[in-house]
Structure 1
Amino acid sequence: MTRQPIDASAAALMVLLCGCWGLQQVAIKVAAPALHPVLQVGWRSLVAAALLMALMRWRGEGFSLRDGRLAPGLLAGLLFASEFVLVALGLLYTSASHMVVFLYTAPIFTALGLHLWVAGERLSRGQWAGVLLAFAGIATAFSAGWAGSGPVAARALLGDAMGVGAAVLWAATTLVIRGSALSEAPASQTLLYQLVVASVVGLVLGLWWQGSAPRAPMAAITWASLAFQSVAVTFASFLVWFWLLRKYLASRLSAFSFLTPLFGVGFGVLLLGERLAPQFIAGGVLVLAGIVLVNLRR
């Protein structure tokens, strides 16, 4: 199947998805006092998997473990689960604003991977300049943490590094989907593999770290956060994302998500009162500029 350039419909969907994804870091942070972030990943994946299976049954969609997609499906699921475990753990150490910027360097790693392994996704000179600019932005943003001292600064740097690691895993997930039998699979099947694996990994690790009892009373905001993460983010938005991956060029879609850090930083400042160091702001601008350059047509 030949992928298409981004059109107006895809652009509108991506703006909506970016707003949703930009808010999820804030949602995890809000619910963290009651539920360990990794346990949130497990619960939201389990709920979303149940919703997805109900949708597939209503549509009459089949699912087989013998269609040659089991191995890449499990691999994509493991990468997906590992990405969100790193995001969840990183939010224990760094701010939601930092996490969303570092996580959404994923388009840079995706573009590099597609350039190396997928024909028709080669980078132009201008796009290579964007890659270098984005990496300079990552280094500049990290310098905000190095400028501090003591255990608080060290914890923030660890959380930031987890964000970059999660970005690499997200890019790897995209490459596995594009380079395997999953590239022609229904979006629901691709997502189901990832949700099932993420639910198992998240629940096992989360219960191990936290135990079965909540760390604090389950307030209404905690339930609202879990509902948003389960239905809006993990179920609906990812289903739309994988559908877009089947129809449009992956590097263009990934690069278009440069809007997500803008939403995420804005939500972090407005809803959590987070403060941004000048070095981090400068680094974030460089990252966004690099992602825009990567997204430019040759």
Structure 2
Amino acid sequence: MSVARKGADGFLFQIMLLLCAIWGLQQVAIKVAAPDVAPLLQVALRSGIAALLVGLLILWQRSWQDWIGCTWRGGLLAGVLFGLEFFFIARGLQYTSASHMAVFLYTAPIFSALGLHLLLPSERLRALQWLGIGLCFGGIAVAFGAGMNWANMNRQVLLGDALGLAGGMAWGATTVVVRSSRLSEAPPTLTLFYQLGVSFVLLLGYVLLSGPLAPVRWTPLAIGSVLVQGIVVSFLSYLAWFWLLRRYLASNMAVLSFMTPLFGVTFGVLLLDEPLSLNFVIGAVLVLLGIMLVSNHAWVRKRLHRWRLAAQR
């Protein structure tokens, strides 16, 4: 029996505020611990820790036996794409700021919407969504201008921004794979395990095979960062998101999730003293507006309709 999902309330807002703060902090955590543990090793270890915890949860729930046979292909592909996402994040943070990464990474809904538009007739884009895509790509162009200081030719920042955008593409492609395969019907914990487990194997394999390891210093900051990323971000916060999805309307949750890049930019400025140029701020606002229109076009249409009716009275 399907459970009626509730609209937004105070409890949802408080939990989403906490989740968005956690997600917005993860790029800053990687950046802060980078002098002690290389970003690629950090994201590999966090995936391994979270995969172990999710795997134990699946064994306890016994919810995987009937799904392995029909989901493993999609699961492997989703895991590869998930690993690529964090590969691009880790490499990108070596060149650009955490605040830039937070904005470019969250272009993922744009790429998932385009992919689903091509694959699923039920996911055809509406006019308002195409407007959002135009705003988003316009914002990306403006924000990229912030990364290219033509006087100093700071191409490293531009490369980091491009890697952040590639991470958003990989994240969007992961969503397309999940939505267009049997994974859309499987227990969410199994889908999460595929993503975490495969990405752990690939990322750790890359780290071990790519040459001599950079010196690792297991300082309290490094240990705390990896544990927080693995337990709090990749395990607890993702499970909390799935738990909320079973109880609240996804559209309302998607609207609230746009606080994440705002937290990411704020933490980058406050904790890492990252500069913000006017170009980047304008571009980021356009990107967020575009993502809002693409992901929540039905919600936006309803609000616009209500405003028109109120204006006619």
TM-score greater than 0.5 by the shorter chain:
yes
Counterpart position of 1:70? 72
SS in 2 for 1:191: helix
* SS at 2:69 equivalent: coil
Find the aligned partners of 1:145 and 1:3 in 2 and give their Cα distance. Answer: 47
Rg (Cα) greater in structure:
2
Report the counterpart of residue 181 of structure 2 in structure 1: 180
Counterparts in 2 of 1:181 and 1:94: CA distance versus 1, 3 Å: same
In the aligned structure 2, how far is the partner of 1:119 from the partner of 1:256?
Answer: 27
SS in 2 for 1:190: helix
Give the C-alpha shift of residue 209 in structure 1: 4.4
Q: Which residue matches 1:124? A: 126
Quick one: structure 1 residues 52 and 180, their matched pair in 2 at CA, closer, same or farther if it must change by over 3 Å? Answer: same
Alignment of 1:214-233 (within 5 A): 215-233=215-233
Q: Residue 95 of structure 1: which of 97, 102, 111 is its match? A: 97
Q: Structure 2 matches for 1:92-241, cutoff 5 A?
A: 92-150=94-152, 153-209=154-210, 211=212, 215-241=215-241
Going from structure 1 to structure 2, the CA distance change for 1:280 and 1:5 (only over 3 Å counts) comes to farther
Unaligned runs of 5+ in 1: none
> 2:198 corresponds to which letter in structure 1?
V
Equivalent residues in 2 for 1:266-277, closer than 5 Å: 266-277=266-277
CA distance in 2, matches of 1:82, 1:64: 28
Task: Work out the CA distance in 1 between the residues paired with 2:177 and 2:206.
Answer: 24
* TM-score, normalising length: structure 1: 0.89
Match of 2:297 in 1: 296
Structure 1 CA distance for aligned equivalents of residues 40 and 158 of structure 2:
19
The structure-2 alpha-carbon separation of the partners of 1:291 and 1:242, relative to structure 1 and needing over 3 Å to count, comes to: same
Work out whether residues 6 and 252 of structure 1, in 8 Å CA contact, stay in contact via their aligned partners in 2: no
Letter of the 2:270 counterpart = L
- CA–CA separation in structure 1 for the residues paired with 2:119 and 2:245: 16
Cα deviation code 1:179-200 (max 9, x no counterpart): 0010000011001111111111
Counterpart secondary structure, 1:8 = coil
Structure 1 vs Structure 2 CA RMSD: 2.7
Q: d(CA) in 1 for partners of 2:197 and 2:110?
A: 27
| Letter aligned with residue 160 of structure 1 | D
Task: Name the CA distance, whole Å, in 2 between partners of 1:161 and 1:247.
Answer: 36
State the aligned residue count. Answer: 296
Over 3 Å counting, the alpha-carbon distance change for 1:217 and 1:66 in structure 2 is: closer
2:7 and 2:249 in contact (8 A); partners too: no
Q: 1:262, 1:216 → 2: CA distance?
A: 31
Listed as ranges, the gaps of 5+ residues in structure 2 are 302-313
Indicate if the aligned counterparts of 1:39 and 1:205 stay in contact, CA closer than 8 A: no
Task: Please tell me the residue identity of whatever aligns with 1:206.
Answer: V
Paired residue secondary structure (2:238): helix
Structure 1 pair 33–4 and aligned structure 2 pair: CA distance change class (3 A): farther
After superposition, give the CA deviation of every residue in 1:37-78 in whole Å (9 maximum; x if it has no partner): 111111111111111122222333334675211100000000
**Aligned letter for 1:171?**
G
Q: 2:88 aligns with which of 74, 86, 89?
A: 86
